[in-house]
Structure 1
Amino acid sequence: MSDVARSREQRKADTLARLAAPVLDAWVATDGPYLVPLTLAWFEERLIAATDGASPTAKSLISTGRARIGIGPTRDVIMIDAVLERRLPVGEAHEVGEAYAAQNDWDPRTAGPDYVFLVLRPTRIQAWREANEIPGRTLMRDSTWLP
């Protein structure tokens, strides 16, 4: 464990770099008993998920309007609470679809009309590596980056 905790500015920069990195894999929890691995994209300060619109994850997220997202290993974690801003059928999501496909190794627009993009607005983002970074781990609150 490093004795020196990263500054808030460094944590934010590291978090944004991870969110924009190719193939953003995450664990997504919804209100139901569902914790699923999904590949996301970071676009215009939103997380974009793609899944079958009839899946339990999509149904739960659409019903409750919220998700908790975990990214990274336990010693370099990003935890995000997010709300569903909108649901877009893949055939109608041109700009979002382009952004998703550009960041990832798969284009859900080729998966068929049952797939949807779920646009999630982060309301809280936390990031830490070790116990010394737990104080001050909150980088965003109420959808606003902290100074």
Structure 2
Amino acid sequence: MTITAPPREPARRKQDVLGRLETELDVWVATADADGTPCLVALWFLWDGRDVWMSTRPGNPTGRNLRAGGRTRLAFGDTRDVVLIDGAVAAYASAGVPPAAAEAFAAKTGWDPRRESAAYDWFRVRPHAVQSWHGVPELRGRHLMRDGVWTV
């Protein structure tokens, strides 16, 4: 495959990232345990305009790692349309999740973890770094957010 499209300008890349955060249903969630054993799963998510919200069982590896590690990397797309988001994690039990976040999550996904008989925890990811690129021609300028501040 030959890439013939010119690289997108940073403002366009940011617009594309925000569009994906609004429309995608799943995000890849990368974590590691205290020994460094990696875990990668796809979870449904909600973007509220500032944070990414996800829910998963507290006893599974992803739930344990998110709670204990306090950080994650989220990923969208394939190797030709990459979005990476590094962020700090805050964990909430179902009783403590902000109702607006849980209700918006349920409206987007059609699933409300608070209504499950099994326990689900909630995780808020506040982005501190965002990268986006379409192949090698866009590697330059791929950093759209650093230290929690959009660079564009």
TM-score by length of 2: 0.88
Please identify runs of 4+ aligned residues in structure 1 that moved more than 6 A: none
SS in 1 for 2:100: helix
Residue from 69, 73, 85 that aligns with 1:68: 73
Q: Is the deviation greater in 86-95 or in 67-76?
A: 86-95
* Long gaps (5+) in structure 1: none
Residues 1:138 and 2:143 are matched in the alignment: yes
Show CA shifts across 1:84-113 (max 9, x none). Answer: 1x2222244311101211222322222235
CA contact 1:20–1:103 (8 Å) conserved in 2: no
* Rounded Cα–Cα distance in structure 1 between residues aligned with 2:40 and 2:47: 20
CA contact 1:91–1:113 (8 Å) conserved in 2: no
Aligned amino acid, residue 103 of structure 2: E
Residues 1:4 and 2:6 are matched in the alignment: yes
Residue of structure 1 in register with 2:16 after alignment: 14
What is the RMSD of the two structures over their aligned residues, measured on CA atoms? Answer: 1.4
**Aligned-residue identity in percent:** 36
Residue of structure 2 in register with 1:31 after alignment: 32
* Long gaps (5+) in structure 2: none
Aligned amino acid, residue 88 of structure 1: Y
Instruction: Select the structure of larger CA radius of gyration.
Output: 2
CA contact 1:28–1:36 (8 Å) conserved in 2: yes
CA contact 2:48–2:101 (8 Å) conserved in 1: yes
CA contact 1:31–1:66 (8 Å) conserved in 2: no
Change (3 A) 1:90 1:10: same
Residue of structure 2 in register with 1:45 after alignment: 50
Residues 1:87 and 2:91 are matched in the alignment: yes
CA contact 2:66–2:91 (8 Å) conserved in 1: no
* Rounded Cα–Cα distance in structure 2 between residues aligned with 1:106 and 1:76: 28
* Rounded Cα–Cα distance in structure 2 between residues aligned with 1:57 and 1:3: 37
Q: Is the deviation greater in 108-117 or in 60-69?
A: 108-117
Aligned amino acid, residue 56 of structure 1: P
Shift of residue 22, structure 1, vs aligned partner: 4.9
Show CA shifts across 1:57-97 (max 9, x none). Answer: 1111111101011111211110111111x222224431110
